Amino acid sequence: MSLPEPESVSQASEADGSRGPSSSRRNFLQLAAGAAAGTIITQYSTEIGVALEQATDGDLEVVWLQGQACTGCTISVLQGQYPTLEEVLSEFRLEVTFHPTIMPEAGEVAIDAMSDSPDVLIVEGSIPVDIPEAATVGQTPDGESKPLVDWVQELAPESEYVLAVGNCASFGGWPAAENKRNLYDLGANVTGARGLQFEQRTERGVLGPDFTSGAGLPVINLAGCPVHPDYVLLTIATVLNGHVPELDAYNRPKPFYEPLVHDNCPLRGYFDRGEFAETPGDEGCLIKIGCAGPYTRCDDQTRLWNDGTSVCLNVGSPCIGCMEPGFWDRFAPMGEEVERQSLFGSITAEQAGWAGVAAAGVGIGAHAVRKATGYGSFDGDEDAEAAAEASPESSAEPTDGDTED
Ligand code: SF4
Ligand code: SF4
């Protein structure tokens, strides 16, 4: 079927005044970003349904491929509650013509059912290019196992929209880890794992930096380990209604991936008072035991997980930066203070905390303290760094004090 022509958020607003809650052409990503903590999907489940229903008044074909992954992103989406994936498939007539985990067919029947020009191509897991046979689907006409990279390169240009679901498909994820400590003598990224358009923080994915889908968009990266189910369903609802979500330098929808974990953390008061946990289970900010919250962007501190129940920092676990390119090496080893990645020198957590305490005494705001100490929101710095490193000409290696061993 034909899909609505893509239009920007501002175009949609001008055309139909689509900011109101009753409009079925509202930008759902903006709506999601502006909603109260953890309740957006519950509050707006009807409208999400309307959006999907409107976009899918005929059958829309979806192909979901899995590469080097643990299937955690599929499990995460299956756990989504409002609407459930089952409702998405049965009521909103998204026809998933191929999904290795949930389709009943197998073998040649499954391959034959796969659309060769899907409306939405979803890829979960990284794509191995050095050992292509590490991830294969079906066979070639010669009877050889067909590498996933070939499927991706064939199907992506024929698809209206391409979504990379999870950190592995977006940036390479853990299969692309450098293995900095050379555990088990395995070496670094032995399979040549890459994301669809990125390899870690550079645009060296299997589709290349200039790829655009039929709708004229790059791959939309829905990072996370796993992806948040809301991000998948709301993004599908948005693009199928013809809206273009604003993307950041790593092609992540900004409404989901712009907030800084550190700024919305429930333990933030401890940080500002300079009170730090020394071991897991201690009271205090978790930065000294490996929290990557100051370097990680996503809205899950307010959206929460598991049907709006909780998030890592609510249960004593440091943020491990799962939404970021470069996860996992960038924040490894877990449990140890993340090597400083700001543009400020070697200030320690204690110094940052004491600076916060002192600043509070003389009335300096928390933002100024964060800038002064190098902890916290590095708005300018981070964006410039991301833009520079997203450039095809840029170095493959992170700079500015990024991880090294
Ligand atoms: S460093 Fe981590 S635990 Fe501490 S306030 Fe920031 S996000 Fe929360
Ligand atoms: S708190 Fe950090 S590690 Fe946990 S899910 Fe969110 S981004 Fe990922």
User: If DSSP codes are grouped into helix, strand and coil, which group holds residue 197?
Assistant: coil
Q: Looking at the CA of residue 317, tell me the nearest atom of ligand 2.
A: 4
Highest mean pLDDT (candidates 54-58, 90-94, 143-147): 143-147
DSSP one-letter string for 92-145: S-EEEEE-TTT-S--HHHHHHHS-SS-SEEEEESBEESSSGGGSEEEE-TTSPE
- Contacts for 34 with CB less than 8 Å, ≥ 6 apart: none
- C-alpha distances out from residue 242 to 8, 55, 178, 332, Å: 8, 8, 39, 39
Ligand 1 centroid distance, CA of 319 (Å):
8
- Contacts for 151 with CB less than 8 Å, ≥ 6 apart: 65, 137
DSSP H/E element including 165? strand 161-165
- Contacts for 184 with CB less than 8 Å, ≥ 6 apart: none
pLDDT confidence of residue 238? 80
Residue ranges of domains in the chain, CATH in brackets: 7-256 (3.40.50.700), 261-295+304-390 (4.10.480.10)
- Kindly state if the Cβ of 297 falls inside 6 Å of ligand 1: no
Ligand 1 centroid distance, CA of 378 (Å):
14
- Kindly state if the Cβ of 331 falls inside 6 Å of ligand 1: no
Find the mean pLDDT for residues 235-249.
83
pLDDT digits (tens, 9 = 90+) for 185-231: 677 898 999 999 999 999 999 999 999 999 999 999 999 999 998 88
pLDDT confidence of residue 129? 97
pLDDT of 252 strictly over 70? yes
Question: Would you place residue 398 in the very low, low, confident or very high pLDDT band (cuts 50, 70, 90)?
Answer: very low
Separation between Cα atoms, residue 278 and residue 308, nearest integer Å: 29
Ligand 2 centroid distance, CA of 375 (Å):
18
Please provide the distance, in angstroms rounded to a whole number, between the alpha carbons at the two ends of the chain.
52
Amino acid at 350: E
To the question of whether residue 312 is assigned a binding role by annotation, the answer is: no
pLDDT digits (tens, 9 = 90+) for 117-137: 999 999 999 999 999 999 999
Residue whose CA is at the smallest distance from ligand 2 atom 6? 300
pLDDT digits (tens, 9 = 90+) for 290-322: 999 999 999 999 989 987 889 999 999 999 999
**Residue of 126, 120, 234 whose CA lies nearest to 175:** 126
Separation between Cα atoms, residue 61 and residue 97, nearest integer Å: 6
pLDDT confidence of residue 277? 96
Separation between Cα atoms, residue 169 and residue 160, nearest integer Å: 18
To the question of whether residue 298 is assigned a binding role by annotation, the answer is: no
Cis omega (within 30 of 0) for bond into 21: no
pLDDT digits (tens, 9 = 90+) for 9-18: 333 333 333 3
Find the mean pLDDT for residues 34-41.
47
- Kindly state if the Cβ of 293 falls inside 6 Å of ligand 1: yes
pLDDT confidence of residue 237? 77
- Kindly state if the Cβ of 313 falls inside 6 Å of ligand 1: yes
Number of alpha carbons in the 13 Å side-chain half-sphere of residue 300: 27
The number of the ligand nearest the C-alpha atom of 303 reads: 2
To the question of whether residue 265 is assigned a binding role by annotation, the answer is: yes
Mean pLDDT of the chain: 75
Ligand 2 centroid distance, CA of 82 (Å):
21
Quickly tell me which residue has 């996860």 as its tokens: 327
pLDDT confidence of residue 332? 85
pLDDT confidence of residue 229? 87
To the question of whether residue 168 is assigned a binding role by annotation, the answer is: yes
Find the mean pLDDT for residues 243-253.
91
pLDDT confidence of residue 404? 32
Measuring from each residue's beta carbon to the nearest atom of ligand 2, which residues come in under 6 Å? 261, 296, 298, 300, 311-313, 319-320, 322-323
pLDDT confidence of residue 38? 43
pLDDT digits (tens, 9 = 90+) for 66-86: 999 998 998 888 777 666 666
370's tokens: 């964060």
pLDDT of 24 strictly over 50? no
Q: Looking at the CA of residue 266, tell me the nearest atom of ligand 1.
A: 8
Highest mean pLDDT (candidates 19-28, 109-118, 131-140, 236-245): 131-140
pLDDT confidence of residue 33? 57
Q: Which of the pair, 103 or 334, is modelled with greater confidence?
A: 334
CB atoms near residue 266 (< 10 Å): 11
The number of the ligand nearest the C-alpha atom of 287 reads: 1
pLDDT confidence of residue 48? 63
DSSP one-letter string for 77-92: HHT--TT-HHHHHHHS
pLDDT confidence of residue 288? 94
Residue whose CA is at the smallest distance from ligand 2 atom 8? 322
pLDDT of 383 strictly over 50? no
- Contacts for 203 with CB less than 8 Å, ≥ 6 apart: 197, 209, 390, 391, 392
- Kindly state if the Cβ of 267 falls inside 6 Å of ligand 1: yes
User: How many whole angstroms from its chain centre is CA 75?
Assistant: 15
Quickly tell me which residue has 């196992």 as its tokens: 145
